[in-house]
Structure 1
């Protein structure tokens, strides 16, 4: 089956579409933008809008005339209605594979979420934010620019994230702080109970991933986080 694009949607110059995508009424997608296969994009979503940088050349709202890096969306992701995704300036603003982005979420320029991430209604990602694979951000959470949320972390609703959140942490509050581990998420990924307990003990002691060698089963998520976080 080919792409199904509602006649009221705008797909501008420089947009590359894979196959089997659904693009809803009044969605606006402008290039440069690369979208993979089997994605579902809701009504009134705006993908590829100009970054909100004072003095930046905004170009035309329906596309064309900029030198921005753009946007990239992987495969099998859902982007619900009224989501806004701004073009990247140094790298492509990105949505990975199998992500679920609920309505009215916002991606600032150069923000990237990895595979299998869930963003609840009204989540706001500031510019250059990075969210690791499998993370879950609750209703109306707000992430300050350049913050990093580790793989598998769970951020509570209305959290205000001003510090980086390590892998598989459970964080909430304003400002958000680590309050434990995402035990449910770890169990769902088949992580052993002893490993979960070790991570819980580390977080309870006030330690951080930068001062700790995690169990081998979690080495990859910690390496991903340490490469990006200012806390390490």
Structure 2
């Protein structure tokens, strides 16, 4: 632990903190919390009562963790065999009641990674090997399965779930009670059981201060990408997009997303068959 005359760290007498744990300055650890020996806690972190942090877990500065959250326990994966599993949480996160986040497995580099400025509401779960970006909003009872990747500025609706190995692109919006089992393009909106695209997250794009001219180009990109007249949907559509919008950074982001290696297909728009 650090020893600084200006350090105002407070540890409640009922908390159990390993002497091997590394604490930053001005940390608050509330009643009945338990901190393991390999935990690293940054500056100005606040852990409310009954918080449990285990494993090789790092928590970034100014993060707040609310009661009964459990962070850094071993991954819930049958292949896990006691390796040094890590959970790395960035700065300025808010982690709600009963949130669980597990460490990584060997197949995912033994790291579960959380970005900065996220909010993880009550009862949400981040499984092993997930990679979650910055400014992500994860409401109550959202479940991310193993190896899920979530881009920056993604917003979920409550009680939605993401199947393992799925990738959610930057700025996407997942509506409440949605089950996502295929990749979601950047700035897409998806909904439904076995999610389908409902369009673009225009409101989210405006909140990100994306210029109107670029939003218009992304709309055109969406229409080309999901043009039903193309038999070879991705190959021909992506080729056309590259030709028509060669210098637009938001289009390039979508192209890069589609062309990255993935184990999953991509969410496509609803069709008449889906509505039947």
TM (norm. structure 2) is 0.75
CA contact (8 A) 1:148 1:228 kept: no
- Among residues 36, 51, 61, which one is paired with 1:37 in the alignment? 61
Q: Tell me by how many angstroms 1:69 deviates.
A: 2.6
Q: Tell me by how many angstroms 1:92 deviates.
A: 1.4
CA contact (8 A) 1:150 1:225 kept: no
CA contact (8 A) 1:163 1:176 kept: yes
Alignment of 1:12-23 (within 5 A): 12-23=36-47
Counterpart residue number, 2:116:
97
Task: Kindly report the root-mean-square deviation, in angstroms, between the aligned alpha carbons of the 2 structures.
Answer: 2.1
Tell me the distance in 2 between the aligned counterparts of 1:200 and 1:68: 45
Q: Tell me by how many angstroms 1:173 deviates.
A: 0.9
Could you say what secondary structure the match of 2:260 adopts? helix
Q: Tell me by how many angstroms 1:7 deviates.
A: 3.1
Q: Out of 102-111 and 218-227, give the one that drifted further.
A: 218-227
Q: Does 1:227 align with 2:245?
A: no
Residue correspondences, number: 224
Q: Tell me by how many angstroms 1:209 deviates.
A: 7.6
- Among residues 91, 103, 110, which one is paired with 1:87 in the alignment? 103
TM (norm. structure 1) is 0.89
Tell me the distance in 2 between the aligned counterparts of 1:5 and 1:139: 29
Tell me the distance in 2 between the aligned counterparts of 1:217 and 1:187: 16
CA contact (8 A) 1:112 1:128 kept: yes
Q: Out of 31-40 and 200-209, give the one that drifted further.
A: 200-209
Residues 173-220 of structure 1: per-residue CA shift (max 9 Å, x gap): 111111110001111112122322232333345158872336623156
Tell me the distance in 2 between the aligned counterparts of 1:81 and 1:97: 19
Name the larger-Rg structure: 2
Counterpart residue number, 2:270:
none
CA contact (8 A) 1:150 1:167 kept: yes
CA contact (8 A) 2:74 2:85 kept: no
Tell me the distance in 2 between the aligned counterparts of 1:11 and 1:219: 45
Tell me the distance in 2 between the aligned counterparts of 1:156 and 1:228: 26
Counterpart residue number, 1:62:
none
Counterpart residue number, 1:61:
none
Unaligned runs of 5+ in 1: 58-65
Could you say what secondary structure the match of 1:51 adopts? coil
- Among residues 139, 144, 162, which one is paired with 1:125 in the alignment? 144
Tell me the distance in 2 between the aligned counterparts of 1:157 and 1:3: 35
Q: Tell me by how many angstroms 1:35 deviates.
A: 1.1
Unaligned runs of 5+ in 2: 1-7, 9-25, 228-232, 267-276
Counterpart residue number, 2:48:
24
Counterpart residue number, 1:189:
208
CA contact (8 A) 1:166 1:209 kept: no
Tell me the distance in 1 between the aligned counterparts of 2:258 and 2:84: 27
Q: 1:30 to 1:136 in 2, by over 3 A?
A: same
